[in-house]
A and B are shown apart, each in its own frame.
Chain A
Amino acid sequence: MSTQPAGFKSWLFTTDHKKIGVMYLVTSLVFFVVGLLLALIMRTEQLDLTKKVIIDADLFNTAFTIHGAAMVLFWMIPVLLGFLANYMIPLMIGAHDVAFPRLNALSFWLYVGAGLIAVCALILPGRLDTGWTGYPPYSIVGPANTAFYVFAVHLLGASSIAGAVNFITTIITLRAPGMTWGRLNLTVWGLFGAFIIQIVGVPVLAAAVTLLLFDKYLGTSFYDGTKGGSPILYEHLFWFYAHPAVYVVALPVFGVVSDIISTFSRKKVYGYTSMAIAIMIITVVGFETWVHHLYVAGTLNWTRVVFMWGTIAIGVPTGIKTFNWLATLHKGSIELTTPMLHALGFISLFTIGGVTGIANGLLGFDIQVHDTHWVVAHFHYVLAISMSMLCMGAIYYWFPKFTGKMYNESLGKTAFWITLIGAMIAFLPQFHLGYDGIPRRYWKLPAKYGPEMKVAVIFSYITIVGFLMTLYNFVHSAIKGKKAPANPWNSLSLEWQIPSPPPFYNFENIPTITDGPYEYGKPADNTVKAH
């Protein structure tokens, strides 16, 4: 066994899944901060609805475009499918590394390249102002340098496909002896579903934006309505991926919530099998919903009805998961650590986001609220608040594992409550605007909504304070924290059975797995099954 490489080169040329995972985490956090800064700028602009505060309409448009792209494409997806998958999958299935370590490194560097292009789109001339959706014909006839958008998506897409190929192969082939499908952590199940979506969805998005590039620079007419093309075609292709993409984010998060709740209730996840099945159902049905973004785009009436049923049907498997979480808490032995607070907060906030999502999914309902602040509030509840919140929770949860240090528990809890209160109220007023049908992506909203927006602005400042405390906690503890034991939570999951931080080869010898990760308090004779 050779020795562990060290120094600068050991990061630049590494193919070790743990190092790559940490690099993903740091890079995606940088984009998160960029996105948040842009959000603050946008919100500050809305302090006064009658005149310019700090940025004009064009900059505002650029701000929300990059904000949306950075948050979805460069923060949420990479932190889950980059950091979480990289660090945790080999540890959870009992492997030394992923199936193709070099491909893994390539994925990471492609992601960095895409990020550089995205940053260029923010600062170089020809700024991207198309919205993260990049709808033509505006993205073609408008002033934006659409090439930035297209190439960022291409590089990121290549990175995602390479990652998905790699991890699907890893999960299928590198499970340790005894690690049956029924013994996988739900986090692994969630990631598996997410990678399947990536494999099917990303190429379609890549095709869609490539045609955009051709239209803009080679004079073709895929999307040009005046030359026989159809802009609606782009919307179909885009959302074919971009809707399932929200489940790329959601499925791993659902898995992590199950893991955290089980660990801190010291109780088996309720209905493990139905949880795994629900994940797979969402993976599949997620592809039968995309037209809900086109409810008023002039699509045929019957297609709208068909896709409405697909959309709202997702509520059922998601509901199964929610109730299983509650049942896991029931008769558990609950310890309210910081990660656990995040998981519980997630359940509550996600339900708000979920039911307002059902409202969007309802065809008749959405005709009033499509492209309004209702939608903005919906997706900030699900995506921005609950999903990001859980990512913070996940970082706290595995912090002792990947840094080998303990974070500061009381600071973590304080930061949680401040962020939670801020985030809950920062988007609440927008439901009112949405109910009144006020469109989103408006630089200046009608002036009578001034008071609502002031509340929203102030509470988003409060959230930022909480977030900065969390960030400080991470950085400070990673450097100066107390040394962490191998298994501070007494979890039964495989990744906690090895030292913190894990040794270079993860497992000295590949272990043989004898039981699932959630079997807390399992009676020895195995006769008691269900009540």
Chain B
Amino acid sequence: MLKQVVRLLMAALFVSIPYAAAAAERLPDPVKAWNNHFKTWAVVSIVVYLVVTVPLIYFVFKYKRRKKDENGAYIEGNTALEILWTIVPMIIIIMLGVQSWAVFNDLRDVPKDHIEVKAVGFMYGFEMYSPEGIMTLNELRVPVGNIKVNLSSKDVIHDFALPAFRTREDMVPGENTYLWFSAKEPGEYPVYCAEFCGSGHSSMLAKVIVMKKEDYEAWVKSKQAASSTTAALTPDVKGKELVEKLGCLGCHGIAGETKAGPALNGLIGKSEELEDGKKVVIDEAFVMEKIADPKAKPVKGFSHIMPPNALAKEDYEAIAAYLKTIK
């Protein structure tokens, strides 16, 4: 028996070494590599499950108790058999591990020809910066190609999850992390925040927009042209831009919906109850103070998680002016 086991093992090793070598080789596309890995795991797991459950059910029927005082056979154990069911799972585990290691390397080693963009998480949204320095909120526009995304966070831990490309990585305050993906087909791919971060966690969504090279360049040009004209804007238009840029919309709706914070439309002139029970009528001054020091007059019924923003005086006024225009 033991001899047979050893022979079987030799055969298994013989088969698995070239297999492992193939797995360690770099695959061109991490998504495909992951999908293959999943398939291997699924086949192994179904087999393991059947190997456990089928004998289980069979034994229950075969060895059902017939007589009241019957005992089972007296068997201590069997070394060869025990070695068999130690070594075989071990080999399976090593095979899966090697394959997974290879997939991992694919997912973590950034190819040389890539462009670098940046994403910063905050409560609740993502600020994305293109290589040209254009900031967009909750959407990352990239041209077809290999993209490395540098990740960081402003407040708590978030996660940049990009399931379509089988990759994700946490955004940790005070640290810099990264991930990369190979954008092949133009289109939109969802991004989720996959690390719990509070009330707005499940609405911390974004998308990656992969564009053809020409389209992307055209988009960059139009953005650059637009930003050079900002100076001439009226306060309320500027306020709108600020509200979008500063990420206020991560927590505030502007169409009456309550997110992590109260909706911003129709706010000025509204009467609101504060945490300490006092009532206030919201005016421009209240809004400005709220942005500078959100904890000073907390509104009742919400968690007080709004981050302070130190802005120039005209910026505060611009935001207040904008809030006035949305009803």
Contact = CB atoms under 8 A, between A and B. Distances in A.
Q: Do chains A and B touch in the complex (CB under 8 A)?
A: yes
B73 interface: yes
B201 A443 contact: yes
B99 A347 contact: no
A409 interface: no
Given A265-B63, A351-B49, A368-B166, A274 B82 contact: yes
B73 A371 contact: no
Contact of A334 (B65, B74, B175, B196): B65
Contacts of A228: 174
A334 B172 CA distance: 55
A367 B174 contact: no
A137 B301 CA distance: 23
Interface residues of B, number: 85
A211 interface: no
Contact of A359 (B41, B55, B164): B41
Interface string A423-459: 0000000000001111111111110000000000000
B159 A371 contact: yes
Given A271-B77, A331-B73, A372-B194, A363 B161 contact: no
B252 interface: no
Interface string A243-266: 000000000000000000000011
A482 interface: no
Given A143-B305, A334-B64, A439 B85 contact: no
A355 interface: yes
Interface string B118-134: 00000000000000000
A478 interface: no
A326 B52 contact: yes
A18 interface: no
Interface string B175-201: 101000000000000101111111111
A131 interface: yes
A142 B108 contact: no
Given A137-B157, A305-B101, A331-B63, A298 B169 contact: yes
B196 A441 contact: yes
Interface residues on A, range: 35 or more
Interface stretch (A5-13, A114-122, A313-321): A313-321
A334 B60 CA distance: 6
B172 A362 contact: no
Interface string A105-140: 000000000000000000000000111010111100
A230 B64 CA distance: 58
A364 B45 contact: no
A348 B53 contact: yes
B14 interface: no
Given A364-B104, A365-B37, A439 B193 contact: yes
A348 B193 CA distance: 34
A267 B72 CA distance: 5
Contacts of A512: none
Interface in A332-373: 332-336, 344, 347-348, 351-352, 355-356, 358-359, 362-365, 367-368, 370-372
Contacts of A226: 173-174
Interface stretch (B3-11, B88-96, B283-291): B88-96
A61 B303 CA distance: 12
B82 A271 contact: yes
Interface in A298-319: 298, 301, 304-305, 308-309, 312-313, 315-316, 319
A268 B161 contact: no
A58 B173 contact: no
A480 interface: no
B66 A323 contact: no
A232 interface: yes
Nearest to B92: A315
Nearest to B168: A296
Contacts of B209: none
A326 B55 contact: yes
Given A226-B174, A347-B52, A351-B52, A363 B77 contact: no
Contacts of A143: 303-305
Interface string A27-47: 000000000000000000000
A368 B192 CA distance: 12
Interface stretch (A74-82, A155-163, A413-421, A517-525): A517-525
A327 interface: yes
Contact of B201 (A329, A436, A441, A531): A441
B63 A365 contact: no
A297 interface: yes
Contacts of B242: none
Contact of A333 (B66, B78, B103): B66
B34 interface: yes
B41 to A, nearest CB: 5
Interface string B48-79: 11001101100110011111011111111111
A274 B154 CA distance: 51
A57 interface: yes
B86 interface: yes
A528 interface: yes
Contacts of A530: 75-79
A266 B97 contact: no
Contacts of B89: 315-316, 319
A476 interface: no
B81 interface: yes
A141 interface: yes
B42 to A, nearest CB: 9
B107 interface: yes
B156 A320 contact: no
6 contacts: A57-B200, A143-B305, A320-B82, A334-B63, A355-B44, A355-B45
Given A133-B196, A308-B97, 18 more contacts: A129-B199, A131-B196, A225-B172, A230-B175, A268-B72, A296-B159, A320-B86, A326-B52, A329-B60, A333-B66, A359-B41, A364-B103, A367-B34, A439-B193, A440-B194, A441-B201, A490-B69, A520-B71
Q: Which 9 A-B pairs have the closest CB atoms?
A: A225-B174, A437-B163, A364-B103, A267-B72, A521-B71, A225-B173, A332-B72, A143-B303, A362-B100
